[in-house]
Structure 1
Amino acid sequence: MLWRYRRHVHTITAENGTEFCAHESIALKLKAEVYFANPYASWECGLNENFNGLLRQYIPKGTDLRTVTDEEIAKVQRSLNLRSRKCLGYRQPAVVFDELRSAA
């Protein structure tokens, strides 16, 4: 997912879940550093926690993700990337991301 943006990915902050078991391979391919939050220290991943809250508006906690289709994920992804955010001065993440990519 990050490969086409690899010029812009310098660091990745991850939690300690099994979904990051291939972190060394990903870091090597992207030439990025991977940092891990301390266990049970959710405040160290504030952006992740905020995103999880937004995501749960579409996919409730406890949902078996094997039942969620790629199309549903893409729809949620589009919705969240086009949703204005206070931390971005009420701009859309997709717009800010495109501006940053253009400036690099």
Structure 2
Amino acid sequence: MFKSITADNGSEFSLLTLQLKGQVSVYFAHPFASWERGTSENQYKLIRRFLPKSMRLSVISNRKVQAIQRYMNNYPRKNLGSQPPS
């Protein structure tokens, strides 16, 4: 399904190369280079429409999270001919 994965340099991704060896190419983005992670940055932008950066995540209800999830899953994608993912 995927040909490559670009991850942040966080310690949570330290074993990613070993775990996916032979399955997919793994690349690591440079620190402070958000343009190297375009898809994730675009997803963050969509989430920020509902949750400002200063908002505490502990106060968000499950219902609100599910509403955001539905919105993102039904958001039309340019690379899909303005259709939502199926």
| Same fold at TM > 0.5 | yes
List, as ranges, runs of 4+ consecutive aligned residues in structure 1 with deviation greater than 6 Å.
Answer: none
CA RMSD after TM alignment: 2.7
Amino acid across the alignment from 2:42: N
Which of 29, 37, 60 is the aligned partner of 1:37? 29
CA distance in 1, matches of 2:67, 2:38: 24
Map 1:1-104 to 2 at 5 A.
8=1, 11-17=4-10, 21=12, 24=15, 28=19, 34-93=26-85, 95=86
More helix by share: 1
Matched residue SS, 2:50: coil
TM-score in terms of structure 1 length: 0.60
Q: Please tell me the residue identity of whatever aligns with 1:39.
A: P
Per the TM alignment, residue 41 of structure 1 is displaced from its structure 2 partner at its CA by 0.5
Per the alignment, do residues 38 and 85 of structure 1 end up closer, same or farther by CA in structure 2, a change over 3 Å counting? same
Question: SS at 2:27's partner residue?
Answer: strand
Per-residue CA deviations over 1:10-56 (Å, capped at 9, x if unaligned) read 75433245xx626637x749x76653211011110011111111111
Unaligned residue ranges in structure 1 (runs of 5+): 1-7, 96-104
TM-score (norm 2): 0.70
Aligned mates of 2:59, 2:24 — CA distance in 1: 32
